[in-house]
Structure 1
Amino acid sequence: MFAERLERARKAAGLSMNALASEVGLSANAIKKYEHGTTMPSSSNLLKLAKALDVRSEYFFRPTKVKLEGVEYRKRASTPKKVLDRINGDVLDQAERWQELLELYPDSVKPIPEFALPDELPEQIFSLEQAEDLAIQMRHAWELGLNPIHDMIDTLEAKGVMIITTDVETDKKFDGLAGKIGSTPVVVISTAQSGDRQRFTLAHELGHLVVHGRLAEGIDEEKACNAFAGAFLLPTQSLIEYLGEKRRHIEPRELLMLKHEYGISMLAALFRAGQCGIITPATQKNLLMLFSKNGWRTEEPGKAYPHESTYLHKQLVYRALGEEYIGESKAAELLGMSVSSFRKERKLEVSTQAQLAQEASRAAAAN
């Protein structure tokens, strides 16, 4: 257990054996022996390792171990393996704390629902248009109507999807990943991405859960999930009501306003206008040329759409504490905080601004 966790924590910290050895004043050979399980560190060296890797010493002996299966990364081909190792370590650490927390609840209490798809979905999808229709069916089944979805994370968590955010610096070469822990779908998004891109990743991953096993031969799953995501975030009927049924031209500011109302990028909204037949392919091409000329494909103009955050894990930790399923020490461990910091937070002794600064500092230190 210790050897595996040490190696994972080292990779998650982005350190080589030599670099870690230098940090703690040991030889690289000593680190190698620890990771191979041939020797164990002394208590003093254990504390040094924990400090260097920014984990609590309990991390190395955590009883809960999860297996994230069916992992698929949404990344660029140039993303270094070292970065993926850091993401993997961060995700597994958070997933383990999630799983341990859920196991502390009694069997009679279900803090999060079991994920299940609606029964009335079609058995097979033969076109990208049907993938869009599927998105609207999901909206109706989840009673979301056709209005903007203001919180995608909350929407998915309420249906039993585990959402994990990672602060690992990726130079914007990683959007997210998806997998499963047992029967629970897990979606990971990067905090380095803009809020609208995070939302599209979440909708795209939901698309994978919905269309999996339903696509007819010849239908590309990635394209189907993109079509699903676009329609889920910005339904055709809503877009027509906003822009009109037929347009000769669309002002870029209209797309910017759509972005901030529906949480979808200007570029994605432009593609949706083409998919819905509101503009002709020629008009869409001209607008895409304008985007390229102004550099809007790389960075869109105007105020950025705000990031989404997950509070469910913290909420359930405090709920477990309130119900006396756990004590302060375990609560602090599950939140990755020191006991003293947790006690201050629990007593509401830290101002909101100071608390946010502390959390940002901890996140930066973890990377």
Structure 2
Amino acid sequence: MHRHEQLRLLTSGKAPEEVSTNTAVVEAFDSARLTQARQLAAMTKKALADQIGVTPAAIGQYELGLTKPRPDLITALADVLEVPPRFFQGGRPHARLDASMAHFRSLRSTRSYQRAKAVSFTEQVWELTYALEKRVQLPWIDLPGFAGGEVNPGTELPGDPADAARALREHWSLGTGPVSHLVRRMEAHGIVVVMPPADEDSATVDAFSTSRLPRPIVVSTPNRADNVYRHRFTTAHELGHLVLHGDTAPGDMQQEREANIFAAEFLTPRASIQPQLPGRADLGKLVELQRTWGVSVKSLLFRCREIGLLSDSASSRAHQRLHLLADQPGFRGEPVTAYPGEQPAMLAQAFDLASDHGLTMQTLAEELVWSPARVRTLLGTPNQRPRLRLVQ
């Protein structure tokens, strides 16, 4: 049978424009885009294959670039994975990551497909950043040791985590007191910080970061957002990974310990916090320090034990008391939403600035080949449609 007759049979019942689009997509099919879309949908190859009526092996061949899907399957793939058909067409900038290129805060409770989804989300964060950066000058990357740094690119930090934290505070002119607006300060130094929408997968994926893209990216997940103090420590932990472990493979527990040491020293420098810490487990005093320094009472108790102000047994008793007081005023977690300086804003503000010069949400979505809703999700801006309220 002639090739054109085969194509006509395969696409019977479809509009001419759809047939033309699907044929063009197949001709320039990008296998990595299929992988990205499938991972974002948190689907296995078998689950996707069942949905579109092919074998899991066929999906594997499409993703390896060994074969291409038939034109009539493009619409099915797009519908199941909730992307425009042209999403699978190559030719757009694509940041390619895998789970071995990201420092995940916790791996024990995270399944492989959830990490893959998080990594694909980060790829799209970079694509959005790249699209905006073509139109808006984002803050210069000022992160010592980062390969793509634009400010003092030859500057290196000490390898010791506490020394590195003190050196970065000095480099960023933070002084020796509390660090206010941690997330906004990181953004001001060129680090992309994002928080994905809450869903069942993000509930088990803890914060993570990567130095393997042209801009360092920190993803602060919603499961930390109910407590601003925990959120700040987690964010500082990821900052530690960026400056300490940019060239090393992630997943080492020693790296996690080093990132914790960095975060504690960065947020509460020992020389500054030690004179203020009580000589006994005075939880009332620690609540006051929590508000001043922006770290949790639990973190401050760890600091007391680390410095030697509390014995192991006294620290254990204090943690037990703290657990009993968890729902009391002063001890309850405060949500990040009450602290604008701890919420990402750089990408949304970049879009607003570009909008002032003619960029529309629709134009950006078409360039990225995403839906406008997807763009809003990654920008962290709510759906702008008015809400219908029925009066009874």
The structure-2 alpha-carbon separation of the partners of 1:257 and 1:42, relative to structure 1 and needing over 3 Å to count, comes to farther
Quote how far apart the aligned CAs of 1:36 are: 5.4
Q: Is contact 2:287–2:297 with CA below 8 Å preserved after alignment? A: yes
Same amino acid, percent of matched pairs: 24
Q: CA separation in 2, counterparts of 1:213 and 1:71?
A: 9
The structure-2 alpha-carbon separation of the partners of 1:149 and 1:12, relative to structure 1 and needing over 3 Å to count, comes to same
Quote how far apart the aligned CAs of 1:160 are: 1.7
1:164-199 residue CA offsets vs partner (Å, 9 max, x unmatched): 323353475432222224453222221222333332
Which of residues 217, 233, 242 is equivalent to 1:200?
233
Matched to 1:233, the amino acid is L
Give the greater-gyration-radius structure (CA): 2
Structure 1 partner of 2:351: 317
The structure-2 alpha-carbon separation of the partners of 1:79 and 1:207, relative to structure 1 and needing over 3 Å to count, comes to same
Q: CA separation in 2, counterparts of 1:146 and 1:57?
A: 53
Structure 1 partner of 2:258: 224
Structure 1 partner of 2:137: 110
The structure-2 alpha-carbon separation of the partners of 1:78 and 1:185, relative to structure 1 and needing over 3 Å to count, comes to same
Which of residues 273, 284, 288 is equivalent to 2:315?
284
The structure-2 alpha-carbon separation of the partners of 1:56 and 1:315, relative to structure 1 and needing over 3 Å to count, comes to farther
Alignment of 1:225-264 (within 5 A): 225-240=259-274, 242-243=276-277, 246-251=278-283, 253-264=284-295
Q: CA separation in 2, counterparts of 1:74 and 1:49?
A: 33
The structure-2 alpha-carbon separation of the partners of 1:224 and 1:4, relative to structure 1 and needing over 3 Å to count, comes to closer
The structure-2 alpha-carbon separation of the partners of 1:17 and 1:207, relative to structure 1 and needing over 3 Å to count, comes to closer
Q: Relative to structure 2, which stretch is displaced further, 221-230 or 131-140?
A: 131-140
Is 1:179 the counterpart of 2:210? The answer is yes
Q: CA separation in 1, counterparts of 2:349 and 2:170?
A: 28
Which of residues 281, 284, 298 is equivalent to 1:267?
298
Which of residues 156, 161, 168 is equivalent to 1:138?
168
Is 1:28 the counterpart of 2:54? The answer is yes
Q: Relative to structure 2, which stretch is displaced further, 2-11 or 53-62?
A: 53-62
Q: CA separation in 1, counterparts of 2:32 and 2:244?
A: 36
Q: Relative to structure 2, which stretch is displaced further, 88-97 or 115-124?
A: 115-124
RMSD of Structure 2 on Structure 1 (CA): 3.9
Q: CA separation in 2, counterparts of 1:260 and 1:85?
A: 37
Q: CA separation in 1, counterparts of 2:257 and 2:44?
A: 39
Gaps of 5+ in 1: 126-130, 356-367
Q: CA separation in 1, counterparts of 2:189 and 2:71?
A: 45
Q: CA separation in 2, counterparts of 1:283 and 1:309?
A: 35
SS in 2 for 1:149: coil
Quote how far apart the aligned CAs of 1:120 are: 7.8
Quote how far apart the aligned CAs of 1:157 are: 1.4
Q: CA separation in 1, counterparts of 2:163 and 2:183?
A: 22
TM-score, normalising length from structure 2? 0.68
Q: Is contact 1:2–1:61 with CA below 8 Å preserved after alignment? A: yes
Is 1:64 the counterpart of 2:93? The answer is yes
Q: Whose strand fraction is larger, Structure 1's or Structure 2's? A: 1
SS in 2 for 1:163: strand
Is 1:158 the counterpart of 2:175? The answer is no
Alignment of 1:20-99 (within 5 A): 20-21=48-49, 23=51, 26-29=52-55, 32=59, 34-35=62-63, 37=65, 38-42=67-71, 46-61=74-89, 63-68=92-97, 70-99=101-130
1:219-246 residue CA offsets vs partner (Å, 9 max, x unmatched): 9543332122012122335534654xx5
TM-score, normalising length from structure 1? 0.72
